[in-house]
Each structure stands twice: as C-alpha cells, then as structure tokens.
Structure 1
Amino acid sequence: MNTLIYSQNAIIKLINQNPDIIIILYILKVNKKTIYIAQQAKKLKINIIYIKNISNKNSSYLKKYNSIICKIKTSEKKDYNLEELIKNKKINKILILDRIQDPYNFSACIRTAEAFSFDTIITNDKNTIKQSSLINKISNGANLFTTIICEKNILNKISLLKKYNFKIIGLSSKSKTILKDELIPPLAIIVGSEKNGINKELMKECTDTYKIQMKNSCKNINVSVITGIILSKIIN
C-alpha cells in the first residue's frame, strides 16, 4: 500500500528518520528547500523525478499548490501493545480521540499532539475517520511520526492506563471545573466528537473533567482548538 506526502518538512523528517519507506520523490518546483531535499535524497539513492511539463488539470493543481510530492510505502494497520509502549518507551502523555469523524479536525489534533510531544494517540476503530493520503496532507505528515492505536473498546485501554497510574482527563462543556492550572503527567486526555462530545461510558471513567472558560458570545470552539488549549497546559 502506497501513500503520498506533500509537506516538505515531513519529507525532510522522513529522509532523516525513515528513508527506507520512500519510493520516489516528484519535484514540481525547484527552490532552496527542494534542492536541499534532492541533495539529501541522492545521498541515500532515493529515486527522483523532475516534473516539468504539466498537461492535465490535476497535475496543474498539484504544481500550483505543491513543490514536491513523496510517495511512500505504508504498512497495513499495526497492532500496538499499549502496555509494552508504556513500559519500553516510557510514554506518559496520551491523547484519546473519541469518535472524531471530520478529517480536518482529526488531522489538526494529530498535528497538535505531535507538536506537544504526545507520541501516542488512541482512537475508536469503527467511529473515527480512517488514515489516508488526505490525513497525511492535512496533518502535514505528523501522523507518520505518531503511534496511532485503533481500539474497538477504548474502555479496556482506560483500565490499563489506570493500572499504570495515569490520570484520565475528560474535556466537556458540562463539567463544573474550569481548566486553569497546569496538568502533570502521567495522563491521558480525552476529547470527544464534534457533535456529541465524549461517550458517556468514557466520561464515567475520567478521574477529572474540565471545561474551557469562554467569554463574550462564543459558546462553542472547534475540537481541534480545544485540544490545542489543553495540551498546552501539560507540563513536559
């Protein structure tokens, strides 16, 4: 299975960290950054094609909005062992996305999580948007550097996290506690779907719940924005 990466920064990161999965680079515009990428790719003998003549409408669109495209090999969905990750990688910050179905919100949450050093995300296997080239593009390739665990029953993972003394933090507009102070790991942050919020069963398992204080006439904030606010409150 192959997928496309459009972010120049993500491509540079792939070349530095995981070049073996790169199949080919398509360079549509020559600039300082694509020249640098091509130089690094040549050192690793990665195939490069320079596209000069654009004929069809799709290619014209690609050239207008992208300087480089990277085709990579992607494996089938991996089965991660969360307990082993906690023990071996010593992860202590986890983001749980409950039924996030909008690809733009899902991707923004992944990108935000990677920016705040959350290297593990847990999602619903059935009711969450699946990963794709669109997710790669919107998340700016952040999903390639994040462990994403698709779980049929998130409640099982919550029990495991509690076993390892993780605090389970839920974000809900119905909470009576306003988020003010910084949060200290180990913890798992749960954010819910755009329409229905966090599943009631998951909410019952939260050790603490918070809401974001909003002023003026704004009563609703996008789930990806909410995610960015709470992740910024966590002490590294």
Structure 2
Amino acid sequence: MEGVSYLASFHAILESLRAGAKGSVLFISLDRNAGPRARQMVEEAIRAGIPVKRVPESFLDSLAEDHRGLVLEVPGASASVRTLEELCRDSKEKSLVLVLDHIEDPHNLGAILRSADAFGASAVLIPSRRAAPLTDAAARSSAGAIAWIPLIQVPNLRMAIERLKEAGYWIYATDMEGRPLYARPLEKKAVLVLGNEGKGVARLLKEAADETLAIPMHGHVESLNVSVSAAIFLYEYRRTYSG
C-alpha cells in the first residue's frame, strides 16, 4: 500500500510492532514521562529492530489526534502479501479475498479487517481513491488486525477482479436480489465484493461477478451494516472449509 499511516492507539501500535512493521518508526514524546505502556512499546520496537525517535509533543500532534505520547509511522500494510500479483501468484487451494467497493467509514473498514483476520481471509482489496483511509480510527476498530491482514490498494477494482478470475477465483458480489448465501457452498477460491454503505456494489462490478449473493433476512429491516454482512459471509466460508 502506498504512502504512510500514523497509528496512535496502544493496541494498534503493539500489534503492528509484534507483526514486524517493517519500515516503521516509533515516535515518542520528549515532553512526557514514559509510563509502563509507553515503555512496553519502546521495548517491543527495539526487539523488532524498529527505530525509536524522541520528538516534541507538537510533532506528535501534527501526526495524529488523541495520541498518548506515542505515534507509530507505518509505511502501508505490514502483512506479508503487498500486491495483487503476489496474491494471485501465491494463492492457495482454499482462499477467500474481500473486495471493498468504496467503503467510506473508517470504522467499517476496521471492523471488516478484524473479521477478515478472525476468519482467515487471504487479503482485503480496496481502491486507491474515494475510499475510507487507513486512519487511526480504522486501526482502533480493527483491534490490531490491521497489522496482520494483507490490505492491498488497487487503482481499478474491475481490473483487479478480472485478474483474480484469471488466477482461478470465483467472484461473488453482494446484492439483495442474489441467491441465498446458504443455498449451496461457496467455491474454495472465492472473492466477495462488498458494496458502499449507501449505494451497494457498483453495476460494473456486479456485471464482472460470476454470481450474486444475499443474506436471507426475516425481520423488518432491509439490510445490515456492511461490516456485519462481511462477518456473516466470512463465517459461512470458514464454516464450510473448517477442515
């Protein structure tokens, strides 16, 4: 993933440090006495070979809001898979990839990453533009999963889906009129396209899909939050291929 992100929550920083966080830098305030949590972060950074720099509080303020005297600069995803080509080349017989079609809420992005890690997704793809940024809010919502799940930015989602097809993936797009999720098992190599909170999956991406899926609902509401839907789809895939 291009560019850098700044993490300020202790949990997100700790998980990123434990994941290796290659190329990262841990900034610590010169203007505060380091407490036990801060000292733990510094020890983890040193153990991981990550530089620790003491800087003025004002510098930390310019990087992240609501920091606690520590900010971790992360140059993109710290997970092992960094590009679409790596994902396609190294994909296994059983592999589930999420494609997020311009998800706008950082909290939804973080929650989806948390579920993706919990249920063993191979990667999450997001567009390079017009999507939720990888902010500290997303990191907090991911509960540290942001350090473990491969998060890949692509310039064109339609082209990325076509490349995944070439690599042997079956493409599913979520749609309220799709076939029920439980009607038959998902394919072993599957891509699930999840839509924008307000507009759903874009028409071009639905057309590129091999099939559309819906979660059967029996109450009064018409739809679920996208992060909840993602968790249900992920669980169903993992339940099917738990062996």
What band does the TM-score fall into relative to the shorter chain? 0.7 to 0.9
Task: Sort the Cα spacing of 1:47 and 1:36 in 2 relative to 1 into closer, same or farther, 3 A.
Answer: closer
Task: Check conservation: 1:24, 1:71, Cα contact below 8 A.
Answer: yes
Secondary structure, aligned partner of 2:158: helix
Per-residue CA deviations over 1:14-62 (Å, capped at 9, x if unaligned) read: 34331663514678865xxx4994695387387599xxxxxxxxxxx96
Most deviating of 115-124 and 136-145: 136-145
* Residue in 2 that maps onto 1:18: 20
Q: How big is the shift at 1:223? A: 0.7
| Partner SS, residue 86 of structure 1 | helix
Q: Provide the residue aligned with 1:41 in structure 2.
A: 44
Give 1:215 deviation, angstroms. 1.0
Structure 1 position 193 matched with structure 2 position 196: yes
Aligned AA for 1:88? D
Q: Aligned partners of 2:69, 2:190: CA distance in 1, in Å?
A: 37
TM-fit CA distance, 1:138: 2.4
Q: Which residue of 2 aligns with 1:207?
A: 210
**Aligned mates of 1:233, 1:141 — CA distance in 2:** 23
The alpha carbon displacement at 1:2 in A equals 6.1
Aligned partner (choices 95, 114, 118) of residue 117 of structure 2:
114
Is residue 7–residue 140 contact of structure 1 (8 Å, CA) maintained in 2? no
CA–CA distance in 2 between the matches of 1:132 and 1:123? 14
Alignment size in residue pairs: 216
Query: For the residues of structure 2 that align with 1:7 and 1:119, how far apart are their CA atoms?
Result: 26
Identify unmatched segments of 5+ residues in structure 1: 50-60
Instruction: Indicate the residue corresponding to 2:131 in structure 1.
Output: 128
Q: 2:228 aligns with which of 210, 217, 225?
A: 225
2:187 corresponds to 1:172: no
Change (3 A) 1:35 1:77: closer
Please state how far the C-alpha of 1:226 moved relative to its aligned partner. Answer: 0.5
Structure 1, 189-198 or 39-48: larger mean CA deviation: 39-48
Structure 1: which amino acid aligns with 2:138? Answer: I
Judge which range, 113-122 or 192-201, deviates more.
113-122
CA distance in 1, matches of 2:116, 2:176: 21
Is 2:158 aligned against 1:155? yes
Alignment of 1:87-106 (within 5 A): 87-88=89-90, 90=92, 92-106=95-109
Letter in 1 for 2:18: N
Distance 1:86 1:150, change over 3 A: same
Aligned residue in 2 for 1:145:
148
Equivalence map 1:67-106=2 (5 Å): 70-75=70-75, 80-88=82-90, 90=92, 92-106=95-109
Q: Which has the larger radius of gyration?
A: 1
Relative to structure 1, the CA distance from residue 113 to residue 25 in structure 2 (aligned partners, 3 Å threshold; closer, same or farther) is farther
3-state SS in 1 of match to 2:177:
coil
Q: Root-mean-square deviation (CA), in Å?
A: 3.3
What TM-score, normalized by structure 2, do the two folds share? Answer: 0.74
Q: Unpaired runs of 5+ in structure 2?
A: 55-64
Aligned ranges for residues 43-62 of structure 1 at < 5 Å?
Answer: 44=47
